[in-house]
Chains A and B, each alone.
Chain A
Amino acid sequence: RKEVEQDPGPFNVPEGATVAFNCTYSNSASQSFFWYRQDCRKEPKLLMSVYSSGNEDGRFTAQLNRASQYISLLIRDSKLSDSATYLCVVSFSGGYNKLIFGAGTRLAVHP
């Protein structure tokens, strides 16, 4: 079983749509959680950290369910510029802050 699993997509949505991505992780000792965004042939960039209480940054909302080992990302009012691959990322103690990346979910927003 992969340590971090994501639906690869692609998710094809029209502008203005709301889209949700899910992610599960296998290591219950995981301590920190993130969503990264990766544009085609570019390096990943931190989109947001994910906190147990859930957190929101503009149109983006992240949720964490530790009991189910499940992370989500909700994007409201999708823009063309949101088209990218979204990477679910976890880290856990004892690993020198190593981050484990999911393979990513591809989002394509169309006019």
Chain B
Amino acid sequence: SQTIHQWPATLVQPVGSPLSLECTVEGTSNPNLYWYRQAAGRGLQLLFYSIGIDQISSEVPQNLSASRPQDRQFILSSKKLLLSDSGFYLCASLRSPGENGYTFGSGTRLTVV
């Protein structure tokens, strides 16, 4: 079965600082990968998805970017954080080919101050 590793678990960053969140996947190859954000008391919002190396699609215009330099590595970045970037960031992978459910990483709780 696949496992998703995310780090760090929590992060406090000042406004204007850069961001890099990493997600790696084990137990599968060529997975569809996703970045979601959950603001406090809100639902999950899809930010980016990737079907392969260097193939990134953005769902909403924002201050963030994503990259997939390796098959099982997905990175979320920002050059300058905004207060509104605070939230719970979750990396997800499609559970298995032909099955639509996701497996999620344990998430990174980001607070921008």
Taking a contact as CB atoms under 8 Å apart, the answer to whether A99 and B43 are in contact is: no
The count of chain B contact residues (Cβ–Cβ below 8 Å) is 25
Q: Which residue of B lies closest to A4 (CB)?
A: B43
The residues of A that contact B46 with a CB separation of less than 8 Å are 98-100
Which of A38-46, A60-68, A70-78 lies at the binding interface?
A38-46
The SS class assigned to the B binding surface is strand
Nearest residue (CB) in A for B59 is A98
Give the CA-CA distance A4 to B88 in the complex, in Å.
20
Tally of A-B Cβ pairs under 8 angstroms: 50
Tell me the smallest distance from the CB of B99 to a CB of chain A, in Å: 8
Q: Using a CB-CB cutoff of 8 Å, which residues 3-22 of chain B contact chain A?
A: none
B109: chain A residues within 8 A (beta carbon): 41
What range describes how many residues of A lie at the interface?
Answer: 20 to 34
The answer to whether B43 touches A98 (Cβ under 8 A) is no
On whether the beta carbons of B107 and A43 are closer than 8 Å, the reply is: yes
Known: A41-B109, A103-B42. A98 touches B34 (CB 8 A): yes
By beta carbon, the residue of chain A nearest B107 is A43
- Does any Cβ of A come within 8 Å of B100's Cβ? yes
Q: Decide if B25 is an interface residue (CB 8 Å cutoff).
A: no
Separation of A4 and B59 alpha carbons in the complex (Å): 17
Given pairs A87-B43, A99-B34, 17 additional interface contacts (CB within 8 A): A31-B100, A34-B101, A42-B107, A43-B104, A43-B105, A44-B44, A44-B90, A46-B95, A46-B103, A49-B101, A96-B51, A96-B57, A98-B46, A99-B46, A99-B102, A101-B36, A101-B44
On A, residues with C-beta under 8 Å from B are: 4, 31-32, 34, 41-46, 49, 87, 91, 96-104
> Can you list 12 residue pairs at the A/B interface with Cβ under 8 Å?
A31-B100, A32-B100, A44-B104, A46-B101, A96-B57, A97-B32, A97-B100, A98-B49, A99-B100, A101-B44, A102-B43, A103-B43
